[in-house]
Structure formats: structure tokens, C-alpha cells
Amino acid sequence: MGIVLPYFNNIYKQKGWCKYEIYKDINVIVTPFFFYIGLIFFKLFCPNFLVFNIYGAIIGSLIITLVYKILKKLECGKSLAFLTTLALYSILQKSLFSNGPNYNFLVLAVILMGIYLEIKQNKKQNRYTDLLQGIITFFVLFTKQNMGVYYLLAITVYKFIKYKNLRESIKCIMKIYSVIFLLGISFLIYLKVSGIWEGFFYYVISGTGDFLSNASIPAIGNSDMFFLIIPITILVLGVIGIKKQRFSEEENNNIKLLICTAIASIGYIIPLVNDGHIVKAAVINI
């Protein structure tokens, strides 16, 4: 309970009960989507730990569901997809459903949505995919800024290596960046109008540098190394698979996507290399 109490308090204290505002009266070093969604839950229902845990259960269920749907889209077979998802649930059941919600798992759910969207695009073309990817990428940035940057880089590189035509790659990337830009400008206007721009800049942008300089890196245990090896293994196997040309174009594109997100996921453990960050990064690659 002690771990999640700050998350609960930061949602509870927002205006409506204590009249506090995030970045003004509440010190938060990440972008605010997790706290805004939590506030909606508290306003719709009741500000207590039961509602807070329901919020966490919804995030956990979304992660498990997306993992299963991604595996099915990769044509692993229903049985293998189910068993893999069940194994993941068994490993992460306590973290996802018993420890309460946090922004790390919410951003993981949003990233999985983006990966699922691209895999669907590889199977069946949709002209709106890049626009939707721009919205998803914005919400990754809007939930946790450092993970948003790494995810954006992963999607950018993926679009460049997916298409043989450079013009097509640039066209897709421009759509994604245009959506992020428009939504980002709208968010910055909101911050300015709300009078919390200075606090946002100090805590989320400037404060992150101070946090990085003061963050300590603990020793990584054997169990952590197991999860850290997952993205590296996927990267090596993916490169070998593409080089041998054993896959269809759709499968090659999926592997390219997974390679890009696998590389990016290594950066998700920053700024703190600890058990939680390593496990959350590994989920993306399982």
C-alpha cells in the first residue's frame, strides 16, 4: 500500500476535493495522463481505494488482453497465444492486479495498443493507421515522457525500414508527427491557460535532468537479467530471421516492428534501473 499511496494522493488532492492542481500544488515529474484519468474515475464514482484498485484492474486487464490479441495477430495459434498470456499473467498477477495502478503500467498498455495497431496494418492496409498512431504516440508522451520519446523513435525508425520507397516512409512519418504536433500544441495551450506551464516545465522537463543526476543505479539481480535478456534475444533472432528470408512480407514487417520496439524497450528502464522498470520493459517483448 505504501508504494501506491503517493499515486492515490496525487489523484485525490486534485481540484474538486482539496483544490490542488498538478504541477502547481502537487509535485509530479511525469506527464499527467495517468492522474487525469484517475481523477475522472474519482469524479464518476467515489474517491476511495476500491475505485483506485478498479482503475488498476482495468489497466491490468487491458495489458493482458492486448498481449493475447497481439499474439493472435502474429498467428502464433490460439493455444500458444493463450498459454503465453496465461504465463505472463501468472508472473505479473501481483504487480498488475494487487499492487494498485501506476503510470508505468498505463503507458505500457498504450504502447501495446500502438504495436497492435501496426500489426493490424501489416495484415490489412488502413489509410487511417498513421493518424491513429500519432494519437497513440501522443498519449504515450502524455503518460510518461521518456517512454514516449523512445517509442516515437522506434516508430520513426520502423517506418523508414518498412517501406522501400523513401517518399512513402516520409509521408507516413509526417502524418504521425503532424498529429503529435497539433495535440501537443493544444496541451501546451491548456497548460498556459491553466497557469501550470511553469510548474510543468520545472518538474517534467527541467526536473527530469536533476532526477537523472541524483538517481542511483542498484545492482541487477539474476531475475532482472532474465527479463533484460528478452529484448536482446528478440533482436538477434529477428535479424537472423530477416537475413535468411524465411518469412513473408507481412511477417518481415512484424519482425522489423518488434525489433524496433525491443531496442526502444531497453531505454524504458531509464532513469531507474530497477526490478519494476526492467519487468515492464520486458512485457513489450514477450
Residues 92-99, mean pLDDT to the nearest whole number: 78
pLDDT in tens, 161-200: 998 889 999 999 999 999 999 999 999 999 999 888 888 8
Beta-bridge mates of residue 115: none
Q: Does the pLDDT value for residue 238 go beyond 80?
A: no
Residues 62-81, mean pLDDT to the nearest whole number: 86
On whether the CB atoms of residues 130 and 172 are closer than 8 A, the answer is yes
Supply angle C-alpha 43, 45, 48, rounded to 5. 90
Alpha helical stretches, state H, 195-221:
197-200, 207-214
**Which comes out higher in pLDDT, residue 32 or 286?**
32
Copy the grid coordinates of residue 268. Answer: 524504458
At a CB cut-off of 8 Å and minimum separation 6, what does 14 contact?
20, 21, 22, 26, 35, 39
Helix (H, G, I), strand (E, B) or coil at 30: coil
Q: Does the pLDDT value for residue 58 go beyond 80?
A: yes
Half-sphere exposure in the Cβ direction for 219 (13 Å, CA): 2
Q: Determine the pLDDT at residue 251.
A: 81
pLDDT in tens, 192-217: 998 888 888 888 887 665 555 555 44
CA distance linking residue 162 with residue 254, whole number of Å = 9
Residues 258-262, mean pLDDT to the nearest whole number: 85
Q: Which of 136-145, 162-171, 192-201, 272-281 has the lowest mean pLDDT?
A: 272-281
Half-sphere exposure in the Cβ direction for 122 (13 Å, CA): 25
On whether the CB atoms of residues 66 and 113 are closer than 8 A, the answer is yes
How many Cβ atoms are within 10 Å of 23's Cβ, its own excluded?
22
At a CB cut-off of 8 Å and minimum separation 6, what does 206 contact?
none
Q: How confident is the model at residue 229 (pLDDT cuts 50, 70, 90)?
A: very low
On whether the CB atoms of residues 252 and 243 are closer than 8 A, the answer is no
**Which comes out higher in pLDDT, residue 61 or 214?**
61
CA distance linking residue 123 with residue 130, whole number of Å = 15
Residues 95-105, mean pLDDT to the nearest whole number: 83
Q: Does the pLDDT value for residue 242 go beyond 60?
A: no
Identify the CA nearest to 201 among candidates 11, 7, 23, 15: 23
Please report, for residues 48, 73, 101, 263, the alpha-carbon distance to residue 57 in angstroms, rounded to integers and kept in the order given: 15, 24, 8, 28
CA distance linking residue 286 with residue 11, whole number of Å = 31
Q: Does the pLDDT value for residue 260 go beyond 90?
A: no
Q: Determine the pLDDT at residue 248.
A: 78
Copy the grid coordinates of residue 128. Answer: 487511417
Q: Determine the pLDDT at residue 125.
A: 80
Mean pLDDT across the chain = 79
Q: Determine the pLDDT at residue 240.
A: 52
Q: Which of 76-90, 169-183, 232-246 has the lowest mean pLDDT?
A: 232-246
